[in-house]
Homo-oligomer: A and B are copies of this chain.
Amino acid sequence: MLYQKEEPILNGQSSCAENFRCAFSPATFDLSAQVAIEKISELLRREKIEGVTLEQPEDLMSEARGLMTAHSGSDAPFDPERFSKIIDLYFRTSIKVGSTGYMARQFSSVFPVAAVFDMITAISPQPASFYEAGQLANVADKIIAEEFARRIGWDPDTCDMITTSGGSLANLTAVLAARNDRLYASWKTGVTRRNGTPAIAVGDDIHYSVCRVPGIIGIGQDNIIRLPLNDRRQICVRRAIPILREALAEGKDIFCLVISAGTTPVGAIDPLEELADFAEEHGIWLHVDAAHCGAFLLSERLRPRLRGIERADSFCIDAHKTLFVPALCTLLFYRDRAKARGAFSQEASYVFDHHENSMTRFESGAKNFECTKRPAILNLWLIWAMFGPQVIAQKLEYLVDLTWDAYSYLSSLPDFATVHEPEANILCFEYKPKGLDSIQISELQLALRDAIRDGGRFFISKVEIEGRNVLRIVMMNHEIEMDHIAALIFEIRSRAAEIMKSWEVRALDATMVAQ
């Protein structure tokens, strides 16, 4: 007496049913995959000095709409031409991470095999918060955690690592764990007070996502204590300690200190040891936003720059930045495993079994924010398995060396000034031709950033350092050599000459109008 469906959706003869079948069919996969592979293969071999092509949103929107053809019955169900055009449009409007002219941001090209694996995890999803649904991802978490524990100097049996979707989420999670640990019952009753107004201290160049955290978790932005920087743009311990002591004395209950290993503007690594001393002395949770430089742990040569990180209560690494795997993949480490469960805390019968068993003990769901989570850790494990972690270390070392060389070179030029000694692969500098005052110099950098970007060969960024604009390059592409830096310098000088000429014309026009 089984109910029979009259017309299963896949069996109809209409063009509509045909379109539906096509949308899900293995043949569409085969065909679209071949198109994509050709396009990617071309991209990876492309002549590689190009910047970014910025288009006006309205123009781009109308082009995108043009690709959204209405589907009439007469259309071929899967149109490889249109798919090909969509890929072209995507690549055309992308930042060119494979170009040797790309020096603007902390996004890298990824290991190609990891991008391929992203297609595997997309077609066969393993939501990784739960062992039942994401077995291999939960196992890979443990393997990668152990690999890092050894390099940090932590006992793999008592520390913990969870994978989460981005540095912002890792920082939020860690500060929540800190809040729930130090301000007892905050999770249950709302933010509680121990002996003062709860506050968080951060370095002045901390990532903006960390500055959002007190706003999010009910502490309030007013209760961020910003610590001053030294001329390397690290937290200046000499000046920071008195500020921290004063804040404590004035009734600020600093329960968490968030510092950086690799600030976004310049890549500075805060003095980890000295700040760990202070945190320890005052029972403050120390979290290190090592999104950018935590990857140095993989290099024998670079690891010493992170000395002291083993004393942090927690720290994170963006694997999609400096471990060169697809976004989003952030590793959040806890020195004390028991604290990892403090960030969130509750149950749901359909997801968390009441009784831990050999399987649920392995899963991360109770410790990470996401319910559905990509098994992104597998991309990292894959690189480890296929090539070994040394390929990551080699790339990092090359990029850091290259940045140092660029720094040395720029420092030797009379018309350039470097802003800091680089500790990582980020370098800030100014182009300072003679005869301009400091306001004009700052304006020039901004104009240069835009002119260079619009020129389409190089793509660099700018940041504000103490109220003035400076240029910023981030070395993320290991195919960049000093010749490319030299070419950039040539470009900067030429563009600057053009910009200053246009200023003179403008000034002359203004004078003539005034006369």
Contact = CB atoms under 8 A, between A and B. Distances in A.
A168 B373 CA distance: 10
Contact of A122 (B22, B115, B215, B370): B115
A143 B64 contact: yes
A506 to B, nearest CB: 20
A13 interface: no
Interface in A392-411: 394-395, 398, 402, 405, 408-409
Given A26-B44, A54-B359, A207 B371 contact: yes
Interface in A35-76: 36-37, 39-41, 43-45, 52, 54-58, 60-61, 64-65, 67-71
Interface in A1-51: 1-5, 8-10, 16, 19-20, 22-26, 28-30, 32-34, 36-37, 39-41, 43-45
B117 A36 contact: yes
A511 B121 CA distance: 51
Contact of A212 (B32, B58, B346): B346
A107 B351 CA distance: 13
Contact of A118 (B95, B119, B142): B119
Nearest to A133: B95
A345 B3 CA distance: 55
A188 interface: yes
Contacts of A281: none
B3 A127 contact: no
Given A26-B41, A89-B136, A383-B23, A36 B351 contact: no
Nearest to A406: B3
A90 B116 CA distance: 14
B32 A116 contact: yes
Contact of A114 (B122, B214, B219, B320): B122
Interface stretch (A78-86, A236-244, A294-302): A78-86
A326 interface: yes
Contacts of A265: 349-350
Interface stretch (A306-314, A417-425, A481-489): A481-489
B5 A386 contact: no
Contacts of A78: 113, 386
A168 B369 contact: yes
A97 interface: yes
A118 to B, nearest CB: 4
A186 B216 CA distance: 9
Contact of A26 (B34, B112, B388): B112
A103 interface: no
A221 B71 contact: no
B122 A4 contact: no
Contacts of A29: 40-41, 44, 112-113, 115-116
Nearest to A401: B5
Contacts of A335: none
Contacts of A456: none
B122 A118 contact: yes
A126 B369 contact: no
Contacts of A483: 2
A123 B110 contact: yes
A133 B107 contact: yes
A350 B207 CA distance: 10
Interface stretch (A269-277, A374-382, A429-437): A374-382
Contacts of A23: 111, 113, 383, 386-387, 391
Interface string A241-283: 0000000000000000000000011000000000000000000
A111 B136 CA distance: 23
Nearest to A351: B208
Given A165-B169, A207-B348, 5 more contacts: A26-B41, A33-B40, A98-B124, A107-B372, A167-B371
26 contacts: A4-B482, A19-B390, A24-B395, A28-B112, A33-B33, A33-B116, A36-B117, A37-B37, A56-B358, A57-B142, A57-B359, A64-B140, A69-B385, A77-B387, A91-B124, A95-B125, A98-B124, A107-B133, A110-B122, A118-B119, A168-B369, A188-B215, A191-B220, A209-B371, A216-B216, A216-B344
